[in-house]
Amino acid sequence: MLRIYLLVGLLSAALALLWFPVPTWLIALPLVVAIVLLLLEFGSRIKHVNYQLAATVFDTSGNGILISDRNNAVLAVNPAFTAITGYTPQDIVGKNPKLLSSGRHDQAFYAKLWHAVKTEGMWQGEIWNRSKSGEVFAEWLTISAVKNARGQITHHIAIFSDITERKALSERMEYLATHDGLTGLPNRVMFDELLNKALADAHRSQTKMAVLFLDLDKFKQVNDTLGHDVGDLLLQHVANALQALLRAGDIVARQGGDEFTMVLPNLTSTQDAIQLASKILHALEQPCTLKGHELKNTISIGIALYPDDGADINSLLKHADVALYRAKQAGRNNFQLYSAEKY
């Protein structure tokens, strides 16, 4: 209010001086002072508005915000910080943000983070922290250094968002792209990649390898008479039985429907594949009870060997499938080795 009265007085003085024979600079002097005061008044109002805007952003932001001093002691946190972490200002102000550490990152990770903040003025990336309740969550974090006119760090500002759900969804989508959603086994896409790798290893080490094609016998009958829910349970039962028989390094996948594939690397002889096929037949012959129904299912198996029956993925799968067809023709519930002389 005092500044306004002063402005009015200065303008009045400038007008009054116009009636007197005084130098022009003297008439302009009160005008200049008035303009300076106006600029100061305008500037202070702009600063006040900026402070209000900054405070509003801090309080209403959906991202968590933490401000710490040069020694990384917490000075303030916003409501979103409390909503995400569970820590109130009373819990954390004056303390180091390492209180949130999840234990998933080593000292080298944090050393690299703070080196970037000190040398580049900022670090941004994914980090795992722990909430007050003990729950570990993923966040996308940006830490910025605030420097004074001499280039010295005076404060740190950390802004983060909780990406746990988004990350879980992304990982689930990636998983389903390479795995069967019902059994959890690798799907056809993943199996082809694993088979190619196994072929490269076998070629490099000059070792034998077997590819098995497996098909449940009369699976359609189970679906048609007992329902698809029982059929799904049977597929899960078979997947678990096959996994239980795997040696270290063996691979089993679901091709789709009631078809499964296996890769048996590092065979010392063909007999190794025959022994595993026999174990599979015996295991699946055992009755199982699913939703009150006792089932005794069987399976047919075709076997192709590397390098005898093919040196590439297409040849091995094709020949294993041919051997499977012969097992079906032979009455099901058996295995057959591929032989070019038989086809």
The larger pLDDT score, comparing residue 328 to residue 171, is at 328
Its pTM stands at 0.65
Q: What is the mean pLDDT of residues 199-210?
A: 94
Q: What is the mean pLDDT of residues 246-257?
A: 93
Q: Are 217 and 298 in contact (CB under 8 A)?
A: yes
Model confidence at 22, pLDDT cuts 50, 70, 90, reads: very low
DSSP designation for 137: E
CA–CA separation, 162 vs 171, rounded Å? Answer: 16
Q: What is the mean pLDDT of residues 63-71?
A: 89
Peptide bond into 265 cis (omega under 30): no
The larger pLDDT score, comparing residue 40 to residue 289, is at 289
CA–CA separation, 302 vs 253, rounded Å? Answer: 15
Which residues have C-beta within 8 Å of that of residue 66, sequence separation ≥ 6?
74, 76, 77, 81, 92, 97, 157, 158
- Pairing status of strand 208-216 against strand 153-162: unpaired
Run of H or E including 304: strand 299-306
Looking from the CA of 234 toward its CB, the CA atoms found within 13 Å total 30
Inter-axis angle of helices 2-17 and 24-60, nearest 10: 160
Tell me the three state secondary structure of residue 158.
strand
Over residues 4-17, the pLDDT tens digits come to 444 444 444 444 44
Q: What is the dihedral of CA 226, 229, 230, 235, to 10 degrees?
A: 130
Residue 303's identity, in one-letter code, is I
Backbone φ and ψ of 252, nearest 5°:
-130, 140
Model confidence at 30, pLDDT cuts 50, 70, 90, reads: very low
Model confidence at 224, pLDDT cuts 50, 70, 90, reads: confident
The larger pLDDT score, comparing residue 194 to residue 1, is at 194
pLDDT at residue 26, as a whole number? 38
